[in-house]
A and B are shown apart, each in its own frame.
Chain A
């Protein structure tokens, strides 16, 4: 058991809307014995709840902290971070593309 925090950036043009939220939830749900929380500013959301993730409704350029605790916490956090950093497979906002200042 360990606690891990990883940071990721929302890079897709459309931000964290319904489809990306569903992707986050799908990824998080694979880790049954691990609690995963997304934090943006003061708001937190259970990464396994599409409702909570959707209600974070964050635009491109928002930094997200992924807090994981439990079995394989490091793997779980990294996977969720990868989904977010990858822009959910959607069009990337050039202002937030990897490598841009």
Chain B
């Protein structure tokens, strides 16, 4: 048995058999083509192009519209395949350099991939597609078809370095139950597809495709970000139970009762959900949460060549607001890096994008895009209880600068006689250590705050959580993080403003007691987590939470803090299992 740790791209819990997609290049026999065989090689190349084109056309028809931008990516493949300069270069390599069709394709494609990567910016984003295309052509020429994913004999967990768009699209959706990959960002094809299918995906496990043997037994825990390879009997049993419970509490079919999120001693905690798109917003609203604590607007931009216009954005915001009625929906303005859609030649490839021109900084640099978003948000604001929140702010000055732009946009709309909610509350993300430390000043000017624990942990501990090599250093329970949260909570209390917690910490039943002890009364989390968190809160008392928080704060290191949390957790489990029934009888 082996435990592999990664980062969750999509939540869920499954056990199954591994289908490992080897990324290893097909070996091309080293041959010099005789002049007499030249045209045979040319024909092989042309057949491979035609065959791949046909495959793409079939895929396009089969998936028409259903996967939106993913389907549109196939268009890129078609254009690349029909490309004159690729075709001419391959033909030249075959005809004048005596190369075999396979070698010629590999060399020509490799040259372009290198060029694309070197040029950076949006072109670099096409490199994986081009590489995938090259692999497909070579495999076809050599008659070594790549494993087909569209007709799988049984249910499998796909294990790979990375899933290419073509693989993602051709996948047999009834048979694939999970993904485990080495690399993949939250915007990757794997992430989009797995969320769409509602199956777990974990990324950031280095060399996973070589570690996991073909057909191995796997448990994919897309709640904790853990993959168990060859689980032993005890582990299998534990998970069988967890999976049954998780299936029962699938968010599509269950509702939660936030009014039950009251501690034993009568403290009510607000339970809100995090939302990425307005796709399933009606079902989400029907679950009964206290509102949306974090609407990640960046998913409107991801995968699009052109940023969405005001109308398209307003529509998505409006749908969400309408679905939630009088319950608040907190929209976080665009939170991503400049590389997303900067098509200019001078687009700089940043050495360190997490510390670069992103989020609110990008909103200032591209005020046009920011204004469009604010206009859309204000336009939609008449349809419900909207709140706006700025990400990646370091101090009150930056917050006020963003708010000033909002005021300008408001006066524009007023002049155009467009109705909007004039009193939309404007809040701030507390996700940088600087913001937490300076939270007293921030909470004086902002209407509310929301602690983004994922980034707060990443920036405080200097750990990239998508980097599998350092994921062990990602410790949200670290005493330093809890101290920063405490500072922010006290700032909110002093200013009389709500400071909530969004991010994975808010959805962790182990960490919620710590947060309660630190003074948090409002939690926003991924929808599947809400039921468990309500249940956990209903069994807590405030004094025990405070004692736990104090123990964590007093810990000299993360390990001791974790020990305190574990001890608290096991006491809770012991008390819970046999006791209640006995008392009742």
A52 within 8 A of B: yes
Contact of B343 among A17, A29, A55, A91 (CB under 8 A): A17
Interface size of A in residues (CB-CB distance below 8 Å): 22
Do residues A22 and B79 form an inter-chain contact, with CB atoms below 8 A?
A: yes
A26 to B584 Cα, complex, angstroms: 76
Question: Using Cβ atoms and an 8 Å threshold, which residues of chain B touch A57?
Answer: 119, 121-123, 343-345
Q: Does B247 contact A (CB under 8 A)?
A: no
CA–CA, A15 and B346, complex, Å = 12
**Nearest chain-A residue to B345 (Cβ)?**
A57
Contact of A51 among B85, B306, B341 (CB under 8 A): B85
CB-CB < 8 A to A58: which residues of B? 345
Contact B80 A51 (CB under 8 A): yes
Contacts beyond the supplied A14-B306, A90-B306: 6 A-B pairs with Cβ under 8 Å: A17-B122, A22-B76, A25-B83, A49-B86, A57-B119, A91-B306
> A residues engaging B (CB < 8 A)?
14-19, 22, 25, 29, 46, 48-52, 54-55, 57-59, 90-91
Which residues of chain A come closer than 8 Å to B309, judged between CB atoms?
Answer: 91
Contact in complex: B85, A15 (CB < 8 Å):
no
Contacts of B306 in A (CB 8 A): 14, 19, 90-91
**A-B residue pairs in contact (CB < 8 Å), sample of 23:** A14-B341, A15-B343, A17-B343, A18-B76, A18-B122, A18-B126, A19-B306, A22-B79, A49-B84, A49-B85, A50-B79, A50-B80, A50-B82, A50-B83, A51-B85, A51-B112, A52-B85, A55-B115, A57-B121, A57-B122, A57-B123, A59-B344, A59-B345
Residue from the set B80, B84, B341 with the largest chain A CB neighbour count within 10 Å:
B84
If over half of A's interface residues share one DSSP class (helix, strand or loop), that class is named, otherwise mixed; here it is: loop
Chain B residues in the interface with A (C-beta under 8 A): 75-76, 79-80, 82-86, 112, 115, 119, 121-123, 126, 305-306, 309, 341, 343-346
- A14/B343 contact (C-beta < 8 A), A49-B83, A55-B119 known: yes
Q: How far is the CB of B71 from chain A (nearest CB, A)?
A: 14
Nearest first, the 6 closest Cβ-Cβ pairs linking A and B are A49-B85, A17-B343, A59-B344, A49-B84, A14-B343, A50-B79
Q: What residue in chain B is nearest A54 (Cβ atoms)?
A: B123
A21 and B43 alpha carbons, distance in the complex (Å): 28
